[in-house]
C-alpha cells in the first residue's frame, strides 16, 4: 500500500502497511497526491509503536557509507541518494513524516543542484511568484493571512524554488506553518524575494549583493554537513541572488503592504 506525494516536480512514493496512516496522508496531502509514476523516489515507512518516553533529540543528518542517516527524537531514516530510496522508522504521524519529506527534498535538491527550500511564505500574483522570507516571527504567516483576493498562496512556511532557465520558479508546497493549510499545487516564475522586517510603514529597500547572498544562505533549509552539498547550495544561493530582485520588505501588519507586491 502506498501514496505518491509530488512536490516541486519531485514525487515520493510512501509505502506503509498502516492503512489508516496512508488515509491520513492522502487527506493531508490531497492537492499533492499523484498517480504512482515510474521514476518516483521511494520511501518505506516501518511503523513503530508509540514511544514509552518521548524524545526531543535534535535533528542529525550525516552521510555514512553512501547513505544519508536522518535521526531525530521521533524518527530514524536511511536514505540512499543514488537509488532514490529510503526507509524510515517512526510512530506514524504526519508531522514526523512531513519533516522527513522536507529533509529528503532538501537533500535531493542540493545533490542535483536543482533548487532550494527557503524559510518563507510564497505566493503568485499576476502570474509572478514572490517569496517573503525570514525566521520564525518575521511575519511569513502574517503576509499569507493579509493576502488580498487574486493572490494564490504557495506556502506560509517553506518556499520551494527550482532552477528554471536563467531564473527560478516558485512551486506550491504542502509544508505549512501557523496557517496550518497546504499551499496550492501550482508553479510560477519567481519575480522577487523579500526578507521581512516588521515596521511602522510599508517599504521595499534593495539589499547589497553580499547581504542578499548572506540572507538567502541563512534562511535556506539545509541540514547536511557535506562539502559537495555545501558547494552546491552555495552556488544555488549565489545564482538566486543574481537572478531575481532581492530586497528587504519593511511592513506594517495590514493589507496595504500588498500594494507593493505586483
Phi first, then psi: what are they for 34, rounded to 5°? -120, 160
Binding mask 133-172 for another protein (x = CB under 8 A): ----------------------------------------
Pick from 62, 218, 256, 262: which binds another protein (CB under 8 A)? Answer: 218
**CB 220 to another protein: min, Å:** 9
Residue 204 grid coordinates: 521595499
Q: Given the complex with another protein, which of 108 and 226 has the nearer CB atom?
A: 226
Three-state secondary-structure class, residue 186:
coil
Binding mask 176-215 for another protein (x = CB under 8 A): --------------------------------xxx--xx-
Q: Given the complex with another protein, which of 55 and 210 has the nearer CB atom?
A: 210
Helix, strand, coil fractions of the chain, as percent rounded to 5? 25, 40, 35
For residue 149, the 8-state DSSP code is T
The CA-based dihedral angle spanning residues 54, 58, 59, 61, taken in that order and rounded to the nearest 10 degrees: -120
**CB 219 to another protein: min, Å:** 11
Q: Given the complex with another protein, which of 229 and 257 has the nearer CB atom?
A: 229
**CB 244 to another protein: min, Å:** 15
Cα angle 202, 122, 225 (rounded to 5 degrees) comes to 115
For residue 220, the 8-state DSSP code is B
Binding mask 220-259 for another protein (x = CB under 8 A): --x-xxxx--xx-xxx--x---------------------
**Please, where are the H alpha helices in the chain?**
19-28, 94-112, 140-146, 209-218, 227-243
Q: Provide the CA 64 distance to its chain's centre, in angstroms.
A: 24
Alpha-carbon distances, residue 172 vs 21, 107, 145, 165 (angstroms): 23, 18, 16, 19
Q: Given the complex with another protein, which of 98 and 226 has the nearer CB atom?
A: 226
**CB 245 to another protein: min, Å:** 16
Binding site for another protein (CB under 8 A): 208-210, 213-214, 217-218, 222, 224-227, 230-231, 233-235, 238
Amino acid at each position: 500500500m502506498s501514496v505518491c506525494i509530488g512536490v516541486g516536480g519531485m514525487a515520493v512514493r510512501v509505502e506503509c502497511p498502516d492503512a489508516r496512516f496512508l488515509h491520513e496522508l492522502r487527506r493531508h496531502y490531497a492537492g499533492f497526491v499523484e498517480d504512482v509514476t515510474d521514476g518516483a523516489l521511494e520511501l518505506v515507512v516501518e511503523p513503530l509503536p508509540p514511544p514509552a518516553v518521548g524524545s526531543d533529540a535534535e535533528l542529525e543528518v550525516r552521510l555514512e557509507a553512501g547513505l544519508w542517516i536522518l535521526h531525530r527524537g521521533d524518527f530514524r531514516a536511511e536514505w540512499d541518494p543514488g537509488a532514490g530510496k529510503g526507509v524510515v522508522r517512526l510512530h506514524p504521524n504526519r508531522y514526523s513524516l512531513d519533516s522527513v519529506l522536507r529533509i529528503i527534498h532538501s537533500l535531493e535538491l542540493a545533490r542535483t543542484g536543482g533548487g532550494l527550500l527557503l524559510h518563507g511564505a510564497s505566493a503568485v500574483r499576476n502570474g509572478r511568484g514572490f517569496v517573503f522570507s525570514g525566521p520564525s516571527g518575521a511575519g511569513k504567516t502574517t503576509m499569507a493571512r493579509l493576502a488580498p483576493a487574486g493572490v494564490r498562496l504557495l506556502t506560509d512556511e517553506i518556499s520551494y524554488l527550482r532552477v528554471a532557465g536563467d531564473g527560478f520558479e516558485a512551486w506550491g508546497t504542502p509544508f505549512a506553518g501557523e496557517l496550518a493549510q497546504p499551499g496550492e499545487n501550482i508553479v510560477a516564475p519567481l519575480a522577487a524575494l523579500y526578507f521581512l522586517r516588521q515596521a511602522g510603514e510599508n517599504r521595499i529597500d534593495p539589499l547589497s549583493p553580499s547581504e542578499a547572498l548572506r540572507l538567502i544562505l541563512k534562511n535556506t533549509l539545509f541540514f547536511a554537513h557535506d562539502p559537495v552539498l555545501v558547494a552546491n547550495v552555495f552556488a544555488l544561493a549565489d545564482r538566486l541572488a543574481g537572478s531575481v530582485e532581492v530586497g528587504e520588505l519593511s511592513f506594517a501588519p495590514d493589507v496595504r503592504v500588498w500594494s507593493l507586491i505586483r
